[in-house]
Structure 1
Amino acid sequence: MLNDFRLRVTPSLKRATSLPLALTFAAALGGCASTAVTTEPQPEDPWEGFNRKVFAFNDVLDRYALRPVAQGYHTITPDPVEDSVGNFFSNLGEVRTVLNSLLQGKGENASRATSRLLINTTAGVGGLFDVATRMDIQQQEEDFGQTLAAWGWTDSRYLVLPLLGPSTLRDTTGLPANMAAYPLTYVDDDATRIPLRVLQLIDGRAGFLDQEDLIQGDRYRFLRDAYLQSRAFKINDGELGDDPFASDNFEFDDADFSDENAAD
């Protein structure tokens, strides 16, 4: 049942979810029990023609540039090092989660994210090690797109951005605030900031190389539906809705099991 569904977020998936490229379907795999690829036009994607052209551009860029680099990085980098790199960038994102949790009135999650930031920055050696998760202080990311949804902008049109990949009008509106809330933005030294950004991009792309085989059918629609379901899952804080089969409050009487009903 959906309510019983749980997915263990591996370090590779954790890295992938921080990368907003055209192939970032891995985020959805961490938030949805299943993803149905539909063939009918979707009302949330009225600009599908434009979006497909941008998607094709991003896909070519990924196929001939980013993906080969990510494969090389994944091949030569030991898994513990890859995990530490992903942990470092994820730890920086806790600042954004704290701010957005406060804006949404989620004091408990703001406290949890603050604890994660302090623990991983200190005991985790600058965020290289996710000590907080080992202490069962789980991560629940929040961004400004989710904050806008919490403030009432629940439905938004799907939009594919050049280089950045899948988004919505709501999430795109939140991008400047997301950048402003990310500590790496304030590193003045280009010789430090640019290599870190490149490393973040490559490491994030490498994080879902193993998940690409899960794409089925129309790549554009698969990734679109996966992204939209992932965002809905995060906005609703993981709520999948009521599962009638998960309830124990069924009431039956003898008539339900009569031969007459069985014949029906």
Structure 2
Amino acid sequence: MAAQRGGFIMFNKVRGPLLLMTSLALLSGCAGAQVAEERHPDDPWEGFNRRVFAFNDVVDRYALRPVASGYATLTPQPVQTGVGNFFSNLGEVRTALNSVLQGKPGNAGIATSRFLINSTVGIGGLWDFATPMEITGQEEDFGQTLAVWGWGESRYLVLPFLGPSTLRDTSGMPADMATYPLTYLEEDALRIGLSALRVIDTRAGFLEQEELIFGERYSFIRDAYLQSRRYQINDGEMGDDPFASDDFEFDDADFDE
């Protein structure tokens, strides 16, 4: 399956109308791949990507998904919410830094405020007090920063265990990991345990949504991921709508049978 990315899946959370598509795109794989009819311009390494996709599917089907299903069944919902809040709060550090690098001081201030409020009043981030206070912003990572710095469109790349990415986003992963607080836990057992919990909790959140994937699975997940990343990079702007243009007019002939 944001960002933001360590363990077995890639973590990305997006606000806006593409939340569902983003969630689906973060899954590392949900079914065997099929041969695409046409080559996607952003996927020149499709043959390699499909093989990795199939590998990830096996790992997910026989290892990650069963564990996530058990976690979702046995863990009370309030506990799951607290776990998700905890890991999301740690991601505010990365958002704040990348917001500064992208020239977005306002968003950096919001991320910093969220981290301070939730880390204190929210008891280490287990409770999200900032959102009800309407302190919300855009999540940022180093892949987005590279895009803002000029690396626009990038080749699609499926990573073993990590799932959907691009060459640009993969290049930003070392910096993403370096700015995630769990990286600096000195106790190996605690760091590995929390990282595993993060993966399982995130995967459990996609159990219901994955059932909504339709059509050819590989293509659906690829297209959803690429679209969601464009949405994130553009801060929620999807571009011009041709049907909203003042110059767009219908002619009577358009309705002739």
TM-score normalised by the chain length of structure 1: 0.82
1:155 positional shift = 1.2
- The match for 1:148 is 146
1:242 positional shift = 2.4
Does residue 73 of structure 2 align to residue 75 of structure 1? yes
- The match for 1:91 is 89
Q: Identify unmatched segments of 5+ residues in structure 1.
A: 1-15
Q: Map residues 85-124 of structure 1 onto 2, 5 A cutoff.
A: 85-124=83-122
C-alpha contact 2:3 2:141 (8 A) present in aligned 1: no
- The match for 1:197 is 195
Please list the CA deviations of residues 5-35 of structure 1 after superposition, one character each: whole Å capped at 9, or x if unmatched. Answer: xxxxxxxxxxx754856697986941769x9
- What is the CA–CA distance in structure 1 between the aligned matches of 2:176 and 2:122, rounded to whole Å? 24
Please list the CA deviations of residues 157-197 of structure 1 after superposition, one character each: whole Å capped at 9, or x if unmatched. Answer: 00111111111110000000000000000001012111101
- What is the CA–CA distance in structure 1 between the aligned matches of 2:10 and 2:209, rounded to whole Å? 10
- The match for 1:11 is none
- What is the CA–CA distance in structure 1 between the aligned matches of 2:179 and 2:68, rounded to whole Å? 26
CA gap 1:77/1:261 in 2 versus in 1, 3 angstroms: closer
Sequence identity percentage? 64
Q: Map residues 15-164 of structure 1 onto 2, 5 A cutoff.
A: 17-18=2-3, 29-30=18-19, 39-164=37-162
Helix, strand or coil at the partner of 1:133: coil
- What is the CA–CA distance in structure 1 between the aligned matches of 2:61 and 2:105, rounded to whole Å? 42
Provide the aligned C-alpha RMSD in A: 2.9
Higher helix fraction (1 or 2):
1
CA gap 1:19/1:55 in 2 versus in 1, 3 angstroms: farther
- What is the CA–CA distance in structure 2 between the aligned matches of 1:261 and 1:95, rounded to whole Å? 53
- What is the CA–CA distance in structure 2 between the aligned matches of 1:168 and 1:88, rounded to whole Å? 27
TM-score normalised by the chain length of structure 2: 0.84
C-alpha contact 1:17 1:204 (8 A) present in aligned 2: no
Equivalent position amino acid for 1:165 in 2? G
- What is the CA–CA distance in structure 2 between the aligned matches of 1:39 and 1:112, rounded to whole Å? 45
- The match for 1:8 is none
- What is the CA–CA distance in structure 2 between the aligned matches of 1:127 and 1:22, rounded to whole Å? 22
CA gap 1:31/1:101 in 2 versus in 1, 3 angstroms: farther
C-alpha contact 2:4 2:177 (8 A) present in aligned 1: no
Q: Identify unmatched segments of 5+ residues in structure 2.
A: 25-35
- What is the CA–CA distance in structure 2 between the aligned matches of 1:194 and 1:31, rounded to whole Å? 29
Helix, strand or coil at the partner of 1:167: strand
Aligned residues: 241
Larger Rg: 1
Segments of 4+ moved more than 2 angstroms: 16-29, 242-247, 249-252, 259-264
1:227 positional shift = 0.6
